[in-house]
Chains A and B, each alone.
Chain A
Amino acid sequence: MSQMWTAKLRNKWQKELPIEKLLPDDQPAYVSSWIYVFGVLTLATLAVIIFSGIILAFQGPAWYHISKTGKFVNSLHFWSVQLFFVFMVIHLWGKFWMAAWRGNRFATWATGAVAFIASIATAFTGYLVQTNFDSQWISFEAKDGFNSVGVGAWFNVTNLGQMLLLHVAFLPAILGVLTVVHVLMVRKRGVVPPIDSEPSPVNEASK
Chain B
Amino acid sequence: MTGWFADFMNHPATYLKSGWLQISVTNLLVILLMLAIFTLAIFLPFPKDKNRHHE
User: Closest chain B residue to A29 by CB distance?
Assistant: B52
- Complex contact A34–B49 (CB within 8 A): no
- Complex contact A34–B34 (CB within 8 A): no
Q: Which A78-129 residues sit within 8 Å CB-CB of chain B?
A: 86, 89-90, 93-94
User: Closest chain A residue to B52 by CB distance?
Assistant: A26
User: Closest chain A residue to B40 by CB distance?
Assistant: A34
User: Does A32 make an interface contact (CB < 8 A)?
Assistant: yes
| A94 CA / B37 CA spacing, docked (Å) | 11
Question: Distance (Å) between the CB of B38 and the closest chain A CB?
Answer: 5
Interface size of A by CB at 8 A reads 11
Given contacts A32-B46, A34-B46, contact A86 B37 (CB under 8 A): yes
Interface of B is mostly: helix
Q: Which B20-42 residues sit within 8 Å CB-CB of chain A?
A: 30, 33-34, 37-38, 40-42
User: Closest chain A residue to B48 by CB distance?
Assistant: A32
Given contacts A38-B41, A94-B41, contact A33 B34 (CB under 8 A): no
| A171 CA / B54 CA spacing, docked (Å) | 44
Interface size of B by CB at 8 A reads 12
List the B side residues contacting A90 at CB < 8 Å.
34, 37-38, 41
List the B side residues contacting A38 at CB < 8 Å.
41
User: Does A37 make an interface contact (CB < 8 A)?
Assistant: yes
User: Does B44 make an interface contact (CB < 8 A)?
Assistant: yes
List the A side residues contacting B41 at CB < 8 Å.
33-35, 37-38, 90, 94
| A134 CA / B34 CA spacing, docked (Å) | 25
List the B side residues contacting A34 at CB < 8 Å.
40-42, 44, 46
List the A side residues contacting B38 at CB < 8 Å.
35, 90, 93-94
- Complex contact B34–A86 (CB within 8 A): yes
* Binary flags per residue of A19-49, CB closer than 8 Å to B gives 1, else 0: 0000000000000111101100000000000
Question: Distance (Å) between the CB of A137 and the closest chain B CB?
Answer: 12
| A94 CA / B40 CA spacing, docked (Å) | 12
List the B side residues contacting A35 at CB < 8 Å.
38, 41-42
Question: Distance (Å) between the CB of A196 and the closest chain B CB?
Answer: 14
- Complex contact A89–B34 (CB within 8 A): yes
The contact sample of 5 A-B pairs, CB cut-off 8 A, is A33-B42, A34-B42, A35-B42, A90-B37, A93-B38
- Residues of A at the B interface (CB closer than 8 Å) are 32-35, 37-38, 86, 89-90, 93-94
The 9 A-B residue pairs with the shortest CB-CB distance, nearest first, are A34-B41, A35-B41, A32-B46, A90-B38, A33-B46, A93-B38, A35-B42, A34-B44, A86-B34
